[in-house]
Structure 1
Amino acid sequence: MKDSNKISRRGFLKAGAAASVAGLMASIPTAVASAAEPEQVAEENCLFWSKKPKYIFLFIGDGMGLPQIQSASFYQGTTQNNGAVIPAELSFMKFPVVGSVTTYDSTSFCPDSASTATSIASGEKTESGVINMKPWTRDVPFETIAEKLHSQKGYKVGVVSTVNIDHATPAAFYAHQASRKNYYEIGVELANSGFEYFAGGEFQKVNGNGSVPNNHEVAAQAGYNVVTTQAGAAALQAGAGKTLIIAEKLADGNSMNYAMDAAAGEWKLTDYVKKGIELLNNNKGFFLMAESGKIDWACHANDAAASIHDTLEMSNAVQAAVEFYNQHPNDTLILVTADHETGGLGIGYKTTNYDTFLTNLTKQTVSYAKFDTDYVTRYRAEKTPFESVLADVKNCFGLMTASDPDAAANSTLVLTDYELDQIRTAYERTLNVGAAGQGDMSQQDYELYGTYQPFSMALCHVLNHKSGLDHTTYAHTGAPVNIYAMGVGAEEFQGAFDNTEIFHKLAELTNVK
Structure 2
Amino acid sequence: MDRRKFLKGSILLSGALTLNPLNLFGRNSEEQLSFKGKIAKNIIFMISDGMSNGTLSMANLYSKNILGKETNWMNLYLENKASRALMDTASASSIVTDSAAASSSFGGGFRVKNGSLNVGVNGEHHLPIWQKFKKKGKKAGCVTTVTITHATPAGFCVNSAKRSAEPDIAEMYAELGFDVMMGGGDEFFNPEKRADKKDVYAAYQKKGYQILKNRSDLNNIDKNKPVLGVFNTGALPYTSDKNTSADLQNKPTLAEMAKAAIDQMKDHKEGFVLQIEAGKVDWAAHANDVSALLHDQLSFDEAIKVVMDFAEKDKNTLVIITTDHGNANPGTIYGADATKNFNSIAKYKCTNEFLLNNIKPDFNLQQIKDWIVENNQFSVSDEEAKHILNFYQGLEKDEEGLYNYKKLPYKAFSEIQKKHNSVGWISMDHSGDYVELAMYGPGSELLKPFVKNTDLHYLMLEATEVENKF
Q: What is the TM-score normalised by the length of structure 2?
A: 0.84
The 3-state SS of whatever aligns with 2:172 is helix
Counterpart residue identity of residue 271, structure 2: G
The structure-2 alpha-carbon separation of the partners of 1:504 and 1:352, relative to structure 1 and needing over 3 Å to count, comes to farther
Match of 1:56 in 2: 43
| Unmatched 5+ stretches in structure 1 | 1-6, 21-35, 39-48, 80-84, 401-414, 438-448
Alpha-carbon distance in structure 2 between the residues aligned to 1:12 and 1:55: 21
- What's the secondary structure of 1:305's corresponding residue? helix
Aligned counterpart for 1:111 among listed residues 97, 109, 112: 97
Match for residue 414 of structure 2 among 460, 476, 501 = 460
User: Which residue of 374, 384, 402 maps to 1:422?
Assistant: 384
Matches within 5 A, 1:365-444: 365-373=349-357, 375-376=358-359, 379-380=360-361, 383-400=362-379, 415=380, 417=381, 420-433=382-395
Report matched runs for 1:281-430 at 5 Å.
281-282=266-267, 283-329=269-315, 331-348=316-333, 357-373=341-357, 375-376=358-359, 379-380=360-361, 383-400=362-379, 415=380, 417=381, 420-430=382-392
Aligned to 2:62: 75
**Residue 332 of structure 2 contacts residue 338 of structure 2 at CA under 8 Å; is this kept in 1?**
no
Q: Helix, strand or coil for the counterpart of 1:297?
A: helix
Q: Paired residues, what number?
A: 432
Contact 2:46–2:322, Cα closer than 8 Å, also in 1: yes
Partner Cα separation in structure 2 for residue 493 and residue 92 of structure 1? 18
> What's the CA shift for 1:450?
5.0
Contact 2:12 2:459 (C-alpha < 8 Å) held by counterparts: no
Letter in 1 for 2:390: E
Amino acid at match of 1:268: T
Who wins on radius of gyration, i.e. which is larger?
A: 1
| 1:199-238 equivalence runs, <5 A | 199-206=182-189, 207=191, 210-211=195-196, 213-238=198-223
Distance 1:452 1:37 in 2: 54
How far did residue 87 of structure 1 move?
7.8
Q: CA deviation at 1:113?
A: 0.3
CA 130–13 in structure 1, closer or farther in 2 if over 3 Å, else same = closer
- Checking the alignment, whether the CA contact within 8 Å between 1:436 and 1:451 is kept in structure 2 is no
Does structure 2 conserve the Cα–Cα contact (< 8 Å) formed by 1:302 and 1:461? Answer: no
Question: How far 1:223 sits from its partner (Å)?
Answer: 2.7
Q: Give the % identical residues.
A: 21
SS at match of 2:433: coil
Structure 1 partner of 2:23: none
Work out the CA distance in 2 between the residues paired with 1:209 and 1:77.
45
Cross-structure match for 1:497: 451
- 2: CA distance between counterparts of 1:8 and 1:430? 58
Distance 2:352 2:151 in 1: 23
Q: Structure 1's 460 and 491: CA in aligned 2 closer, same or farther, altered over 3 A?
A: same
**Relative contact order, CA 8 A, sep 6+: which one is greater?**
2
Q: 1:204 to 1:118 in 2, by over 3 A?
A: farther
Equivalent runs, 1:145-184 vs 2, <5 Å: 145-152=129-136, 154-184=137-167
Task: Report the CA distance shift for 1:345/1:78 in structure 2 as closer, same or farther (over 3 A).
Answer: closer
C-alpha spacing 1:209/1:202, structure 2 compared with 1 (3 Å) = closer
3-state secondary structure, aligned to 2:43: strand
Deviates more, 1:207-216 or 1:101-110: 207-216
- 2:221 matches 1:242: no
2:332 touches 2:342 (CA, 8 Å); kept in 1? no
Q: Separation in 2 of the partners of 1:339 and 1:12? A: 17
Q: In 2 relative to 1, CA 301–294 (structure 1 residues): closer, same or farther, beyond 3 Å?
A: same
Change (3 A) 1:87 1:131: same
The more displaced of 314-323 and 256-265 is: 256-265
- Cα drift, residue 315 of structure 1: 0.5
**Equivalent position SS for 2:273:** strand
Q: Give, in whole Å, the separation in 2 of the partners of 1:145 and 1:53.
A: 15
Q: 2: CA distance between counterparts of 1:221 and 1:9?
A: 40
1:89 is the counterpart of 2:51: no
Structure 2: 5+ residue stretches without partners? 1-7, 21-32
RMSD of aligned residue pairs (Cα, Å) = 3.0
- d(CA) in 2 for partners of 1:158, 1:209: 24
Q: Is the 8 A contact 1:360 1:463 kept in 2?
A: no
TM-score, normalisation: structure 1: 0.77
The alpha carbon displacement at 1:132 in A equals 0.8
Counterpart in 2 of 1:445? none
